A = this chain, B = another copy of it.
Amino acid sequence: MDLQLQIKMNAKLFLRDPEQSVLGRSIIEKSIYLINKMGFEDFTFKKLAVEAGTTEASIYRYFENKHRLLTYIIVWFWTWLEYQLVYHTNNVTNPKEKIRIIVQLVTFHLKDEFTFKHIDKYQLYQIAVTEGSKSYLTKHVRQDNKDQLFKPYKDLCGRIAAVFEEYNPKYKYPRSLSSTLLEMAHYQFFFKEHLPSLTDFGNDADDKGVILFLEQLIYSSLNAK
């Protein structure tokens, strides 16, 4: 099965909707490739224009600046994560099973039925790990938040928090535990790869250790009296 899904994005994220044209989709595709390859700091609209076979001016017709483009792709990723969460927990009643699925999802270990011609989800995941927090760690975070740019992240966080509350209605920090899970899924993975002594998984070939740590963190916190 090859399901098609169109992710609807907040119109404030772009000047012209990149989903609606060949050039727009190419801009997204090549951004993901380039940001992942060279890092957000070295990524420029000039390089993107060359890669996409167009000009800087044309890219500026879609996105105000490179930070908005980063926010666009990161928000796309969060929105996709929320879709996946809903899709995979739809018929699941046991909150313990839901939590298992959530951890698999945020560590990118869940099989995904959806495909997007112009979006390489694994590359996008890697960008989310390394560059994701840069989308909100800015001085304009409050204005961006007012413009609802981070709604998909907050919705995802809220949905995971609701599962935590379902598991233990008396637990006092469902949202903070949820944002901790979301951030740490990325950070522990980054640390494991690049700064291994900040983790206990330095020599591991796979991500099982990270997953076990996250599960231990969640369950011990939710089960504590």
Contacts and interface: CB of A to CB of B under 8 A. Distances in A.
A42 interface: yes
Interface in A167-186: 172-180, 183-184
B136 A134 contact: no
Contact of A195 (B141, B172, B197): B141
How often does this chain occur in the complex, in copies?
2
Interface residues of A, number: 52
B179 A199 contact: yes
Interface string A25-40: 0000000000000110
Contacts of A188: 176, 179-180
19 contacts: A133-B133, A133-B137, A142-B194, A145-B194, A150-B195, A154-B195, A154-B197, A157-B197, A172-B200, A172-B213, A173-B216, A174-B200, A178-B198, A179-B188, A180-B180, A216-B221, A216-B224, A220-B223, A220-B224
Interface of A: 38-39, 41-42, 67, 130-131, 133-134, 136-139, 141-142, 145, 150, 153-154, 157-158, 172-180, 183-184, 187-188, 190-191, 194-195, 197-201, 210, 213, 216-217, 219-221, 223-224
